[in-house]
């Protein structure tokens, strides 16, 4: 790889906030972004798990700040950004990854259950984007982690999850429209398919084999590195002319 090409994918000296970074996709992204040179701020509700994520990122020679926060609380979101500015001076990238999921039949889902998912998956993403959008400069990037279930179904009753993740796509387009011309901030969404994480461990034992696997055109599930590489591309100068888009990373599941 030439030096010029490597620079297109570099995040050297940038500052990235990653929510939902205590495990799974968020924790993996923290390592990838750190390897690309970005200082990282990892946020989640579980402080003990965050410590491991931050420590692993520091091994790549970058600064890593951890902030315990619940993104469904707008004040927590403001606090994450304030701490970032105080400690690292700027915010260049937001990976809006915090999310929650459950599978409940629509006739039995309670208002509390529905609202709890929307509060994290949609409201939380908006509060974080709003807080970051106030301080980000031109060339910054916001990446909203949606889901393949925003555009298809997958055999489980997940009305609240699907609705909240689909709403993120509309939010992405609107923020891209507002902040691209005025602020120079790019806003895109990722729609991942099946990646084995702590969240997917709750799936019924035969679900992946009997329901998901037949729909995967590449005949396998995704690796965390494949997700984080796509997120890195959206965060980096390499995708500098991409905004308002939803990038689907699902092994072909959404077209079967």
Please identify every residue annotated as catalytic. 161
Looking at residue 201, what DSSP letter applies?
A: G
Short-list 255, 250, 219, 199, CA closest to 24: 199
Q: Which residues contact 144 (CB under 8 A, 6 or more apart)?
A: 96, 125, 129, 168, 171, 172, 187, 188, 189, 190
What's the rounded Cα separation, in Å, for the pair 192 and 78?
27
The pair of three-digit structure tokens given for residue 46, joined into one six-digit string:
């579980």
What's the rounded Cα separation, in Å, for the pair 216 and 176?
31
Provide the Cα torsion 20, 190, 130, 56; round to 10°.
30
| Burial (CB count within 10 angstroms: exposed 0-12, middle 13-18, buried 19+), residue 250 | buried
């Amino acid at each position: 790889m030439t030096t010029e090409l490597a620079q297109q994918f570099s995040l050297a000296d940038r500052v990235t906030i990653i929510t939902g970074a205590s495990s799974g996709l968020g924790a993996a992204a923290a390592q990838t972004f750190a390897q690309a040179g970005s200082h990282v701020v990892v946020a989640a509700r579980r402080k003990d798990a965050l410590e491991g994520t931050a420590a692993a990122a520091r091994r790549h020679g970058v600064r890593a700040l951890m902030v315990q926060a619940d993104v469904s609380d707008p004040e927590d979101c403001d606090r994450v950004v304030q701490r970032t500015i105080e400690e690292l001076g700027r915010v260049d990238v937001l990976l809006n990854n915090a999310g929650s999921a459950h599978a409940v039949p629509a006739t039995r889902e309670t208002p509390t259950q529905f609202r709890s998912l929307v509060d994290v998956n949609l409201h939380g993403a908006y509060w974080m984007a709003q807080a970051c959008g106030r301080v980000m400069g031109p060339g910054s990037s916001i990446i909203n982690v949606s889901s393949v279930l925003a555009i298809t179904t997958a055999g489980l009753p997940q009305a609240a999850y699907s609705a909240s993740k689909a709403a993120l796509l509309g939010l992405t387009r609107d923020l891209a429209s507002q902040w691209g011309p005025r602020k120079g901030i790019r806003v895109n969404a990722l729609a991942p398919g099946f990646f084995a994480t702590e969240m997917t461990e709750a799936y019924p034992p035969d679900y992946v084999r009997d329901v998901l696997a037949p729909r995967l055109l590449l005949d396998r599930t995704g690796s965390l590195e494949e997700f984080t590489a796509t997120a890195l591309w959206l965060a980096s100068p390499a995708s500098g002319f991409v905004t308002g888009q939803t990038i689907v990373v699902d092994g072909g599941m959404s077209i079967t």
